[in-house]
Amino acid sequence: MVDPESEMWLPIESDGEPPAPSTERKRRPPRPASSGYSADQIQVLEGLDPVRRRPGMYIGDTDVNGLHHLVYEIIDNSVDEALAGECNEIEVRLAADGSCTVSDNGRGIPVDIHQQTGRPALEVVMTKLHAGGKFGGGGYKVSGGLHGVGLSVVNALSQRVEVVVYRDQRIYRQEYARGVPMIDLHSEPDSRSGRRGTTVRFWPDPEIFKVTQVIKAETITTRLRELAFLNKRVHFRLIDERPDPHLELNFYFEGGIEAFVRHLNRGKGTVQARPMYAEREIEGSTVEVAIQYNGSFTEHVLAYANNINTIEGGSHLTGFRAALTATLNRYARKAGILKEGDQNLSGDDVREGLTAVLSVKLQEPQFEGQTKTKLGNSEIAGQVSSVLSDALGQYLEENPGDGKRIVEKSLIAARARAAAGRARELVQRKSLLETATLPGKLSDCSEKNPDLCEIFIVEGDSAGGTAKGGRDRRTQAILPLRGKILNVEKAREDKILQNEEIRNLITALGTGVGERFDISRLRYNRVVLMADADVDGSHIRTLLMTFFWRYLQPVVTEGHLYIAQPPLFRVWHGKKESWCYTDEEFAVALKEVGSKARVQRYKGLGEMSDDQLWNTTLDPDQRVLLKVEVDDAIAADDIFDKLMGISVEHRKRFIQAYAKTVRTLDV
Ligand code: 0RA
């Protein structure tokens, strides 16, 4: 999502930036292997074959995601150069011809002859897998790999690549087609003095990618903004030359992740005046952390290792949590807020309302876990813990007012947690007894195999009655909810779990909640939200989706949550009848049925007969269900937070910006 107010919109700077490489260039067909290629060279070419044969192994998939992966690979190389302290400008340009150009003002990829192969280092980097890092230069080996790694993968999967290196007062160029050099590396003098850097332009190969024209500006924007937060004082720029809309965005943050935390906390009523921020080098690693509590009840901690968002956590996060809890407890005792005999604050207590960004940069990161987003290096736990203990301890001493407010907030959280525990116990006990205590309002189905069962969550008793009459009682259960459920973004867990409607819902689903949540106990394969097609209905849907996202997330991420689509109109005359689910369908139906058409508009589900509801909305053979899918958990968090959280200003801005385009399913 592009928030127009969060960054500057600047015109292109024409000065100090390497010009885009000329497009007029002699093109030669690939040379046949027999025309004097050295043995080394052949080996280099063969080296990229596996990438073209199994692209998924290198970039995940050959869909939009894979395409974005190519862009990230190149950006990562430039970011490595920035991490080595050698570059402070990185630009991404998306052109109308489907190409993407990444430029930086780093040292430039080395062009001297590589001993082993007798070819220029640049060519080796571009044509040999894992060729990076062998050219000295020292510096950080980051971005999950070695310097220059990834360029060869991009090269292999592009129908064409142009590389320009500015170094030593010369301009070096080379071009490739599907990984094969089209012309030898050549150079000319550079008339601009002192210029250095690398520009890589690539055209994704349509033989590999299902789609090549859909690099999304929004996706690249999100990543560039994140990188700008994580790499302070590096300028990142996106230029989207494609029409609709032509975009130019600049990201630059003097404060790095401190600014990131402020950004995440915008409009949320913060507990501290300014974030606590620390950056330290320790045993060859860099640890950077920023913390600021806000007025909400949710925890929002983003952990990065070498600029990669470690969503599965890992040792750095373990160290962070341990130090946060220990340091706050130590301070609370020393300041006399926790007295002798008082229990320590728990980890959950000190993380309520916490917004934090943790970014570590280390020499040899080990990424583990299913999606390789869990940091494995055990030494980093102690390093993070030591840095945070020192820095936070000092911060609390120096800002006793903030310290006191943080500890008191944690104490309130502790009390609420105790109350929530009792409330949860109640819900849990109920759902353990299963059918005996299923909510009275639930009209359950007779089938017991969850794979075959569906539950419709319906707004109001009257619609519930219709649904109960119209359903297939063997496989379809109906749970009516009275009115609007609580907004879970604004209430604390204990209050939420005491809410009758929410308790009924959890009990009916069978999964339990909190620590004892167990998706395998879900009693229905499909959980269908069925609300009216009006503003109130859409509010109720959003409230329910927020609840599922915050409390029963696996129901969403494992694909069990759906939205029913009741029709908006019935158009009929004589034997002709048509149900319309959109205004467009309505217009078409009016024409088809003719001038004598009669029209009924359905404002509520309750206005339909049992049979009509079955035919239009419940019958698996005729209905249209929308499945709720989430591709980006952070973005979804952010959207729910904006829409349903405490910041009215945010909600207003969000709704104003997206009112026309956001559909319930866009999360
Ligand atoms: C290997 C060694 C050196 C720099 C690079 C690679 C390098 C790669 C890329 C990719 C995009 N931009 C880049 N910038 C630099 C060090 C060279 C030296 O010591 O001069």
Q: Please tell me whether residue 474 adopts helix, strand or coil conformation.
A: coil
| Alpha carbon nearest to ligand 1 atom 20, residue | 107
CA of 147 to the centre of ligand 1 (A): 7
Distance CA 543, CA 450 (A): 25
What's the one-letter identity of residue 387?
V
CA of 165 to the centre of ligand 1 (A): 10
Q: Where are the alpha helices (DSSP H) in 433-534?
A: 461-470, 493-498, 500-509
Least confident of 94-103, 300-309, 396-405, 563-572: 563-572
Does residue 104's CB lie within 6 angstroms of at least one atom of ligand 1?
A: yes
Nearest to 231 by CA among 94, 109, 87: 87
Q: Please tell me whether residue 641 adopts helix, strand or coil conformation.
A: helix
Q: Is the pLDDT of residue 3 over 60?
A: no
User: Per-residue pLDDT tens for 339-355?
Assistant: 999 999 999 999 999 99
Does residue 73's CB lie within 6 angstroms of at least one atom of ligand 1?
A: no
Q: Is the pLDDT of residue 278 over 70?
A: yes
The pLDDT score that the predictor gives to residue 651 is 57
User: Where do the domains of the chain lie?
Assistant: 49-251, 257-418
> Which of the following is catalytic: 190, 368, 536, 619?
536
CA of 171 to the centre of ligand 1 (A): 15
Neighbours of 29 (CB within 10 A): 8
> CA gyration radius for the chain?
29
* Residue 561, CA distances (Å) to 3, 166, 628 in order: 29, 53, 6
DSSP lists the bridge partners of residue 579 as 570
Beta-sheet pairing, 158-167 with 197-204: antiparallel
The pLDDT score that the predictor gives to residue 537 is 83
User: Per-residue pLDDT tens for 111-149?
Assistant: 999 888 899 999 999 998 864 443 333 333 444 333 556
| Alpha carbon nearest to ligand 1 atom 18, residue | 137
Nearest to 502 by CA among 464, 461, 543: 543
What's the one-letter identity of residue 463?
A
Least confident of 43-57, 177-191, 319-333: 43-57
Does residue 296's CB lie within 6 angstroms of at least one atom of ligand 1?
A: no
The pLDDT score that the predictor gives to residue 32 is 34
The pLDDT score that the predictor gives to residue 460 is 83
> Which of the following is catalytic: 168, 281, 434, 534?
534
Task: At 292, give phi and psi (nearest 5°).
Answer: -150, 125
Nearest to 377 by CA among 444, 283, 242, 452: 283
Beta-sheet pairing, 170-177 with 186-189: antiparallel
Atom of ligand 1 nearest to the CA of 167: 20
User: Per-residue pLDDT tens for 58-98?
Assistant: 898 999 999 999 999 999 999 999 998 999 999 999 999 99
CB 360 within 8 A of CB 424: no
Q: Where are the alpha helices (DSSP H) in 248-338?
A: 257-264, 315-334
13 is catalytic: no
CA of 308 to the centre of ligand 1 (A): 20
Q: Please tell me whether residue 311 adopts helix, strand or coil conformation.
A: coil
CATH 3.30.230.10 fits 257-418, yes or no: yes
Does residue 109's CB lie within 6 angstroms of at least one atom of ligand 1?
A: yes
Does residue 89's CB lie within 6 angstroms of at least one atom of ligand 1?
A: no
- Please tell me the class of the 49-251 domain: alpha beta
Does residue 373's CB lie within 6 angstroms of at least one atom of ligand 1?
A: no
Does residue 147's CB lie within 6 angstroms of at least one atom of ligand 1?
A: yes
Nearest to 60 by CA among 69, 51, 52: 69
193 versus 8: the higher-pLDDT residue is 193
Does residue 106's CB lie within 6 angstroms of at least one atom of ligand 1?
A: yes
Nearest to 218 by CA among 198, 244, 197: 244
CA of 122 to the centre of ligand 1 (A): 9
The pLDDT score that the predictor gives to residue 592 is 87
CA of 374 to the centre of ligand 1 (A): 27
Say what the pTM is. Answer: 0.67
Distance CA 586, CA 579 (A): 8
536 is catalytic: yes
| Alpha carbon nearest to ligand 1 atom 12, residue | 78
Region label for 112, one of left (φ > 0), alpha (ψ between -120 and 50) or beta (otherwise): beta
Q: Is the pLDDT of residue 100 over 90?
A: yes
CB 522 within 8 A of CB 516: no
Least confident of 340-354, 390-404, 477-491: 477-491
User: Per-residue pLDDT tens for 410-427?
Assistant: 999 998 888 888 887 777
Does residue 91's CB lie within 6 angstroms of at least one atom of ligand 1?
A: no
534 is catalytic: yes
Q: Which two tokens stand for residue 475?
A: 């496989």
Distance CA 402, CA 147 (A): 42
Q: Is the pLDDT of residue 639 over 90?
A: no
Q: Is the pLDDT of residue 576 over 60?
A: yes
Nearest to 106 by CA among 160, 155, 148, 161: 148
The pLDDT score that the predictor gives to residue 12 is 26
Segments of 565-665 assigned E as strands: 569-573, 576-580, 598-601, 625-627
Distance CA 645, CA 623 (A): 33
Does residue 146's CB lie within 6 angstroms of at least one atom of ligand 1?
A: no
81 is catalytic: no
Residues 6+ positions from 574 with CB-CB distance below 8 Å: none
Nearest to 626 by CA among 523, 550, 552, 538: 538
* pLDDT band for position 44 (cuts 50, 70, 90): very low
User: Per-residue pLDDT tens for 606-619?
Assistant: 888 999 999 999 99
- DSSP states along 30-85: PPPTTTT--HHHHHHHHHTHHHHH-HHHHHS-SSHHHHHHHHHHHHHHHHHHHHTT
What's the one-letter identity of residue 407?
V
